[in-house]
Chain A
Amino acid sequence: MSDLLETRLGPLTLQNPILTASGTFGYGLEFTDFVDLAKLGGLCTKGLSLEPHAGNAPPRICETPAGMLNAIGLQNVGVKAFLGEKLPRLRDLGATVVANVWGDTEEDYVAVVGALEGAEGVAAIELNISCPNVEKGGMLFGNSPSATASLVARVRRATRRTLVVKLSPNAPDLVESARAARDAGADVLSLVNTFVGMAIDPVTARPRLSFGTGGLSGPAIKPLALRMVFQVARALPGVPLMGIGGISELSDVLEFLAAGAGAVQIGTANFRDPGVSGRLVDELEEHCRDRGVTVADLVGRAQRAPAGGEAGAEG
């Protein structure tokens, strides 16, 4: 791998800026037929809780134009099974692992992070404070800057690892939430999680998802997510960001880098095209080589360009 692609996100240096998003990549092991995990900048695990969690009743997913709604409800094997069964294999495969964690309470988050603290092969912790599909915890921590600050501060004291905080686009003021997370000790911010949405069966008038609402993802949300990354990058210069939202092709990656993200996470596109993340690494490398630029050169270009005109014409 060339250092053309290397990207620095605060204390975290990744070989390239292509990661896969939590909830869309299982524990990584589901994808070994399609992607060499060692080739990725990193993979974010399915959200881990202290105990195994069953998730929501079906139907859990529903396709919508250019995307999908999900209300999986954070089904996961629990942090103990992750450490015993998944992480050793990920380590053997050379994956850069970002452990995504969640809980109902601050104590739960601290306990999961504590369980991961001694584990070898975890590059960073990603705090999910933005899942819209659970009754407790999740997005409740992300929708209030004071709740965000309190949680992040507690987790910060519990770990020496790089701490990524995954923000919710449903927060009333995303910039304030971002500022609260940073001030409380987040090293990196990842944005955005899914947008709360809904679909109704027009014949029966029942919601298509058993949870009622769900999180919208896929290309449908890309312009919204891109605007949010741009906005946070502008408001909080110097804060390392990972951009997420409908990224499925190279031009999407370039847009998010230009908006100010030092890395991106590929999400829903993994379902349609399980090999897409590895391919994007190749395509980005070719792009950089052809143009004689590094990823570092690409990050934040739109922040430096004049608004509209040429800045809008790129990509």
Chain B
Amino acid sequence: MKKNIVTPIAGALLALIFLVILFLFQVRQTEVAVVTTFGEFTRSIMKPGLNVRWPWPVQKIYKMDNRLRNFERKFEQTTTSDGKNIMMTVFIAWKIADPKVYLQRFRDDENQVEQALESVVRDAKNGVLGQYSFGDLISTNRAKVKLPQVEMDMLGMMQKVASAEYGITIELAGINRIGLPESITTKVFDRMTSERQRLIRQFESEGRAEATRIRAEANREKEKLLAEAQAESTQIRGAAEAEAAKHYAVFEKEPELAKLLFDIKALKHATRDRTTLVLDQQTPPFNRLNAKAQMAAPAKK
């Protein structure tokens, strides 16, 4: 082969790259690293950046994801302290706190971590829920609802095991899903329907009752007004009667005449129509038509 200037340069470059790969390594923003020398733990690197190392087999670098990871598993049925059932899922967000311990415990196998975490999370969730009654979780009295405290208790329990034994820290823990066993939801629906029905009946009957009351009151007022009016009218008539009495005194001067005059008047009015008279000769003035009576002089008194 011909001697080329390019080849040595390329070779040198390659060699340089080779050396760089061997002796330097990066820790990315999202990673932490553990450096072991001949298998023994040397140091953990928590900050991102460029670092120097000895190549394998002298030193081995383990890189692990130090971002906050989400974890949630089962929607599980459990008992509260007063023997009632509730179903809950708890989510956590965790990250590596002590890379050395984490590596030892799990060899960076996320599956293993999640299996271990699942037991811890479920134990904490069910254990803490067993300490609180159903009314502490769901209550119309806002002061009694202790959901944040439940979450904090769970977090505390989990964090104790996690940081002491696993080398991880749990930053968030919260309830992600809440529910009741299926058979109980049916009963809750029945209760809800009854509750609504109760309100419906209450409102409807309240409406009716109030309407009836209002109408009754109005009727009473109306009756009262009418009665008052009647009474007043009667009173006015009475007053008129009193005034009429004055005039009656006049009639007392000659009561017979008064009676006669009134009789006559009445007679005239009554016989004004639809009257049939059956008379005979004895009735004056027809008695005048009687021959005998014609002769007779007006005598009697």
Partners in one complex: no
- A-side residues, CB < 8 A to B, are none
